[in-house]
Structure formats: C-alpha cells, structure tokens
Structure 1
Amino acid sequence: MNRIEELYHEAKADKWFKRFAGFCRIALAASFLPAGMVKIMGERFASGLPSNNPLGHYFDALHLTGYYYTFIGIVQIITAILLLIPRTSLLGALMYFPIIVNICVLTYATRFDGTRIVTMMVLASLFLLIWDYDRLKHILPFKQPETEPPVLKRPLGKRLRILFFGGSFAVIALIIIGTFYLYEIVPGNSEAECRNQCASSKNPAACQVFCDCIYKQGQPLDSCLATFDKAKDVHRTDGK
C-alpha cells in the first residue's frame, strides 16, 4: 500500500473529513433541487437574467425544448436525492459530475458571473468521487492490487486536516482572484452591471460599444467581442 492510499484511509477515518463529505453532498444536492423543480414546473431557469445576455440566449432556447427541458429537471432531482442517501451517494456523485462539468464549461464560455461558484461545485463533486475511491476503483480501467485497508498506527489527524483545509482555502482564493482577472470584459448579469465596469475599464468608450452590442442589439457574445476589439483599435487610433 503506497503512501497516498495510506493518507486516503487516514482521511476516511477522520470525523472532520466525514463531515466535510456530508456537507458537500448536502450543498450539491441543494443546488440541484430548486433548479430541477423550476424545470419540472415549466418555468424559465434564471428568470432574472435578460434574454439578450449570452447565457440568457441559452436559457431561452432550452426553455423552448419541451419535454427535454422537463427531463433535465427530473434528472437533477433524482441526482440530488441519490446524493442525500448514503447507500446511493456514489451513484449520485457519478451522475452529478458530468452535469456540473458541462454547466461549468457553459458559464466560462458565456463569461457568466457565477463561474466562481460553479467551479467550486465541480471541485466539491470531484472530492466526492475521490472520497469513494475505495468503491470506485473497481471499475477503473487499470488493474487494482487486492489489498486490505492499512492499520493506522499513527494517523496524521490534525496535521492532515490543516494541510487539506488550508489547501482548500488557498484554491478558493485562487479561483476568486483568478476569475476576477480572467477576462478583459464581461457581459454581466444585466445591462447595468455591464456598464458599471466601463468606468474602471482601460477603454470606456469601447466598453459602452460592447454593452450596446449585447443588450441593445442582442448580438452573440463572439460578435460583440469582435466589435469591442475593433472599437478599441478605433479609439486607440483616434487617441493618437
């Protein structure tokens, strides 16, 4: 048994890690329950998001897909329930992970402000899969040695918790700071949010052009980004 698996079993035996795994299951399930119910009831998800917002375009189209929209809601509810039941939590985590990865890619592609939270949800989902590695490893595409869990003579205890939770806070801080500087311009969740960023922008006039393109003209994000780049070049030339 290598050292990594020894650390894994030490974490599995620690009450703080068990509580954290339980917290992740509850938090992830809580995120899917209301989202699933909205779809089952036939209401548009994120109703406060304008239709001209890049993600708003997506939600409008998804809302019009009929029973496929309802199907997504049912799957989310089932996944949440499976996560909450200890005996089925691994199946719930296996279902949750590809769904939340898809949502995460979508939020980054549309420059949605909720990318930070969704990224943390992906990491929490990944943690749950690692937490059940002892059950999951039997379906992995490589041979697993037949070993018994090691006898823990001197568990790391407090030191292991500090390393894990300290590292987790560092990752969260990195996500928050990294996503803040990830894009030069974002559409925001509303026209007002979009225009608020123009005051601190290096190209305020080009920023206003971008917001007009998104919320006044309803153009796709890629087209508006191209318009933004052109506007920057124009104002840079005028400035000379």
Structure 2
Amino acid sequence: MWKKLEQHISNSRSNRWYRYFAIFCRISLAVAFAISGWVKISGERFAAGLPSNHPLGHYFDALLDTGFYYTFIGIGQVVVAILLLIPRTTLLGAIAAFPIMINIFVLTYSVRFEGTRIVTFMLLANFFLLVWDLQRLKAIVSNKELHAKPEHSPTNKFPYIFFSLVLLTLATVIGVNQIMYDIRPGNSMEECTNGCLDSAAPQASKQFCDCIYKRGYNLRTCLDQFEKAKAIELGVEGVK
C-alpha cells in the first residue's frame, strides 16, 4: 500500500491540476503566515477586532505583553512564509509550518473560536504539502540518499475524484464544527447573543454571553455556569 501511495503521488506530480492545487496551498499558507507575522513584528495586537474578554482575546493580550518574544514569533512566521513561496525551500517551509499549525489548531478548538474551520483548512493544506513532497520528506526522515525517479509525461486530465474528496472534506469540517459544541462565545457580544435564539436553553445561553463579555470570566468558569443554568432551565421547562 505504501509503494502504491508513493507511485500515485509520483504520478500526480506530473498532473497540471495537482500542481496548481499545490501552488494554491503554498500561496494561501504563505499569505496567512506573512500577514500574521507582520502584525506581530509591527507590535500590533493580532485580531484587533476581537474583544479582550473573549477567551482568545485574553490570550492575544497576554501574548502582546511578552515584548520581544511576540516579535520573535512574528519573524519566525514571516520566515516560514518566505520558505513556502520559494520552490526549492517549500518542503522546509511546510515542515516548519506544521507544528505551528497544530498549535494554532488545538488553541482555536480549545477556546471554541469561530475561526476553527479556516484553521482546519490551513492545517489540511499544510499536510497536503508534506505529502506532495513525500519522496524528499522520506529521504530526510530516513536519512537516506535521495534518488531521482523518472519523470512521467505531463498530463492535463482533471482529477475529479481528488477534488470531489477535497470538497467533501471541506463540507465535513464545516458540518462537524457546526454541531460539535453546545455553545460558542462567538467573536463579539452581539454574535454570541444572536446564537442564543436557536439554543435549547436561551436564558442559560444569554447568561453565558454575559459571563464572557460583561463579567470577563474565563471560558471554563462560564461553561460550568452555563451547564448548571441549562440544567435548571430545561428542568423547569420539563415540569411545565
């Protein structure tokens, strides 16, 4: 199976549409890293529109106060962006970006950030770039000499199955994110309270929003209060 996978990847590299997709992933990741890094180098708070009382807002405020460490992170992200844009160093950039993306992925999901979908897409794009250069990556990991494989004839055949799987994966990420949490803080008080309308426990949900944005408590405390208020609210409605 492993040899078949390597053979399929080798064949795919000669396909124009796969190459376009790899270039799209490279540029998308590079732009995201460049913007994020430049904001930090400039000394500005990342996601300035995100309220300080938001769980991720607490994190960004604290990160901004770390001084030159904040700048150091920004420089690292810009370097990764440059590596991704240069064809010869794309693999190095993808390797450097991968642990950063995993860290951001876990962070955004842990605080129930609305941008989890985009972060997931970026992580998948990063993973694709690693797989795209599997031959070179294998040589680095195994510490073996890289032998050039014979090039396949260029092809323009559109890979319908691959791009159908890409669309299915994107839809799955969006769908799972839509149902995986009972409640999210949103990106603002208004966004949070708007989500209360469709909640099974609207009063408990509103209390959660007040806990986050008006009282400024941490996410864990507000979630604990939400679960207790939700149980009481649903219990009262059950009696009625």
Bin for the TM-score computed over the shorter chain: over 0.9
Q: Contact between 1:52 and 1:218, CA under 8 Å: does it hold in 2?
A: yes
Whole-angstrom distance in 2 between the partners of 1:221 and 1:23: 36
Residues 50-65 of structure 1: matches in 2 within 5 Å? 50-65=51-66
Whole-angstrom distance in 1 between the partners of 2:38 and 2:146: 44
What's the counterpart of residue 158 of structure 1? 157
What's the counterpart of residue 178 of structure 1? 176
* 1:146 CA displacement: 8.3
Q: Contact between 1:198 and 1:208, CA under 8 Å: does it hold in 2?
A: yes
2:202 is equivalent to residue 201 of structure 1: no
Amino acid at match of 2:106: V
* 1:99 CA displacement: 0.5
Amino acid at match of 2:100: I
* Structure 1 segments of 4+ aligned residues over 2 angstroms from their partners: 143-153, 155-159, 236-239
What's the counterpart of residue 149 of structure 1? 149
SS at match of 2:128: helix
Q: Contact between 1:21 and 1:131, CA under 8 Å: does it hold in 2?
A: yes
Amino acid at match of 1:149: K
What's the counterpart of residue 34 of structure 2? 33
Q: Provide the aligned length of Structure 1 versus Structure 2.
A: 237
What's the counterpart of residue 46 of structure 2? 45
Amino acid at match of 1:230: K
Q: Contact between 2:105 and 2:119, CA under 8 Å: does it hold in 1?
A: yes
Q: 1:78 to 1:60 in 2, by over 3 A?
A: same
Structure 1 portions without partners, runs of 5+: none
TM-score by structure 1 length?
0.93
Amino acid at match of 2:160: I
Identity, % of aligned pairs? 51
Q: CA RMSD in A?
A: 2.0
* 1:25 CA displacement: 0.6
Structure 2 portions without partners, runs of 5+: none
2:6 is equivalent to residue 5 of structure 1: yes
Whole-angstrom distance in 1 between the partners of 2:220 and 2:187: 17
What's the counterpart of residue 91 of structure 2? 90
Q: 1:79 to 1:109 in 2, by over 3 A?
A: same
Whole-angstrom distance in 1 between the partners of 2:199 and 2:219: 18
The superposition leaves residues 48-78 of structure 1 with CA deviations (integer Å, 9 ceiling, x where unpaired) of: 0000000000000000000000000000000
